[in-house]
Chains A and B, each alone.
Chain A
Amino acid sequence: MILKSVYDGIKGLIAGYAVTITKFFSRGTTVPYPEKTPFVSERWRGVHGLFFTDNRFEELCVSCHLCAKVCPSVCITMEGSEDYLQRKRLKRFDVDLGRCIYCGYCEEVCPADAIRLTTSHDYVSRDRENLILHKEDLIEIGKSAMRRGEHGALGIRRGDGKKVVYQENRNLDASFKALSGERVKR
């Protein structure tokens, strides 16, 4: 009786160690962040960026206030003004990351594809004030995302079947692929 339970105990111990030892010698599944940057899906909904035209010269945003309107956590505050060509442009654009729930609605609603969620995900601060991104910060984030070749969480998507509406600043090849159902390669 006693022998039987000792035998069972040892058996269990060996089985347990077997798992531990195999795992010890196999490849790990976690990433030693922050020494190593983890793999992030290209559709990751991270910190917002304000994107530019492909020559990175002109803002895409037309200051339509739709992102501020659609945002469910009311974290976007903006003001428009007139630029040197009498066009409607952004004057102030604040995103409060402390309130943002990274739902991506702002990107989805944007008629100019100006605000997009980038893969940047390590935005931390000890100060709440720093969690409010202003226009300059968002432009910086957007430009660096453009340098990395990102297109935002939704990828390039435009057009409605028959009538395809392209904008000059778009990468046409990628758009065609997106429309024909192919996954966008970045």
Chain B
Amino acid sequence: MSLVRVKIDDEEIEVPEGTLVITAAEKLGKSIPHFCYHERLTPVAACRLCLVEIEGMPGLQPSCATKVKDGMIVRTNTKNVLDSHKSVLDLVLETHPLDCPKCEATGRCKLEDFTYEFGPHRVSYYRPPGISAYDYEELSWSPVLKFDPNKCVECSRCIRVCDEVQDCRALVASSRGHNWRITTFTGGPLHCDFCGACASVCPTGAIEQQPGKFWKKDWELEKHFVICSHCGHGCTLLLRGWEGRIARIEDDFKVGINRANICSRGRFGFDIISHSSRLSKPLLRSDGKLVEVTWEKALFAAMEMITASHSVIGLASGMLSVEELFLFSKLLASRNGKKFSESRDGDVIEFEKKRLGRYGSTHGFDQLDSFESIVLVDIPVEELDEVLRIDLISAAKKSGAKLFTAGRASFRLKKRIAGLFKINSQTLASAPAKTLFVVDTERIEEKELSAILEKVSSDPFTGILFVAAQSNSRALSSFGFRVLPSDEISEVDLMIAAGPLQMTERPTSVKRLIASASFRNELVESADLVFPAALPFEKSGTYVNSEGRAQYSDIAVPMAGESWPDAVIWISVMKELGEATPSTPREILDEVRNNHPELFERNYPVKSSEAEPKLPSTRLAPPKRHRGLLLDKSEWLRKLQEHLDFSKEFSPWF
């Protein structure tokens, strides 16, 4: 792409051809007000807020829809331009309720910001207070989204994000002229994917998330980047919370593999952290009933149970972090225990090692646009990985990639499927150039498919993208956890279950059961010893997503009750048993890296500064502003202190 030179307010900049004027100005650090322009969406030039003067063009031009040309001279600060900003904002404010103090959006509202910077500080069209221009009723679209039509500035970002990015088309514009208004497709409650993208792109407080509403102002909420562990995509979430509680999940276009796409599980699923059935203390079965005990007692009981057992098996969840799975497998190895998992995902590492001779998918989620055709090999995309569906749609729309399916067609992608594809020995010969095979790891063992994949991996023009359902299936496979055979667990003395599991009842052939769990469920009720485990966001750890990208997730909120991260639980159990174990995060990670380099093979981080997974150094940093003697805070600090004391005594994980 060739570069062109443009001059913006006497400053010159070189940008690639086809760049929009507003983007070039942004690069120079100039602020041009805008509502309808958004970096993720196609420009529509509807709001006329971003007008600038361009030499040689008549009148004022919308900078969000004008591409730069070589030698273009742009002016953003002449009186004419500033007056136009002012009058457009004046017209918007005419119908605006001016409710900023009690509006959820203050602090991040674009209308507020631009009015402060450019706008009329007194509106020309005076309306007595209490009399709204429209007086529409505020609508609760769904339990997670609400809409206040009075605050809408008619930028249509929400319609476009729902259509172009999410491919849901749940929002439409109704009527024309002064009555132009956003409504749901049915006019009633919202029926959609509930991705929350519309609330995220809305420049004002018109569409807002319901959870955490009115709780805190934007400027009071902390920011933490965390990795979602609900599926194998490994999206980066921007968690906003205060004093250990979560207000909402936001997205950041610049950080993470998901490019600001988040599915409903990631966006609104954070409230499981404070679910009422969370376990807060270790439970031990005595006289047939589970009673709460101290950690010392629980660890001692675990030691007794493990030493008394001759045959041990372990069942691990793919939602645990790499470090935790590693420590759990170490514990099992020290007792010659068999390692099992519940994962539906296949042994992808084993397959890659034996058949492909390399680790990780050949291409990442962000490289889909470089292919001319993409073959979905019998894979229910939106069930496994919702954000991959969005990525596929964007590849099909933006770069014209053709989608083919071999086997089941994904329901939501049906419209975009260009044709069917047969997986047989002629597949490769008939495949168009530059093809990407998107493969469900559940099926890699199938004979024909694996033969094709073997061939593909040596072909430079085709690629393979593995998709797994669980956030750490690769680590499970690498540490040797195999799928639990449903019928044949022969008599075992002890089963140890780690992490969130789907299993609802204890296998009858198991004599004793130790479980680490976060919630009270049937499996917990049938266990002999239960450790309360911390959930993601409450603990740090590395997650290897289905591409094979290792990402580090930091601690964002304090742990619930007396729960511990699984890593700490298994370290403490091993110490109780007298086994040697790495105990600091650095030691654990180094050991994993040395023994299982395949997990870190494709560590191509989004930001170069994240090349090395960082360690939880900020864990016990004091709150930024000292706020005196407030009780809740000290409660929180007390909790942190307890964990600190514990770490001195048992393990230096923190």
Report which A residues bind B (CB closer than 8 A).
62-66, 68-69, 74-75, 77, 79-82, 86-89, 91, 94, 96, 98-99, 111-112, 128-129, 131-132, 163, 165, 167
Contacts and interface: CB of A to CB of B under 8 A. Distances in A.
Contact of A74 (B104, B138, B628, B631): B628
A78 B240 CA distance: 17
B106 interface: yes
Interface of B: 100-102, 104, 106, 126, 129, 138, 213-217, 219-220, 625-631, 633
B106 A128 contact: no
A98 B509 CA distance: 63
Nearest to A81: B214
Nearest to A65: B217
Contact of A64 (B101, B138, B630): B101
Contacts of A69: 217, 219
Contacts of A75: 627-628
Contacts of B129: 165, 167
Contact of B630 (A89, A91, A96): A96
B217 A87 contact: no
B630 A77 contact: yes
7 contacts: A62-B101, A62-B102, A63-B214, A74-B627, A75-B628, A80-B214, A132-B629
B102 A128 contact: no
Contacts of A82: 213-214
Given A64-B106, A88-B102, A112-B101, A79 B216 contact: yes
A63 B126 contact: no
Contact of B215 (A66, A79, A94): A79
Contact of B220 (A65, A132, A163): A65
A77 B138 CA distance: 29
A166 B126 CA distance: 14
Contact of B214 (A74, A88, A131, A167): A88
Nearest to A165: B129
B625 A74 contact: yes
Contacts of A79: 215-216
Contacts of A167: 129
A128 to B, nearest CB: 6
What 5 pairs across the A-B complex have the smallest Cβ distances?
A64-B101, A96-B628, A62-B102, A80-B214, A88-B102
Given A63-B214, A82-B213, A87-B102, A132 B630 contact: yes
Contacts of B100: 64
Contacts of B126: 163
Contacts of B101: 62, 64, 66, 111-112
B9 to A, nearest CB: 33
B626 A132 contact: no
B102 A98 contact: no
A80 B216 contact: yes
Contacts of B213: 82
Interface centre among B214, B627, B630 (most CB of A within 10 A): B214
B241 to A, nearest CB: 13
Nearest to A99: B628
Nearest to B106: A64
Contacts of B220: 65, 68
Contacts of B628: 74-75, 96, 98-99, 132
Instruction: Give the residue among B100, B626, B630, B631 with the most A Cβ atoms within 10 A.
Output: B630
A91 B212 CA distance: 13
Nearest to B138: A86
Nearest to B104: A88
Most buried by A among B126, B631, B633: B631
A157 B78 CA distance: 38
A127 B271 CA distance: 37
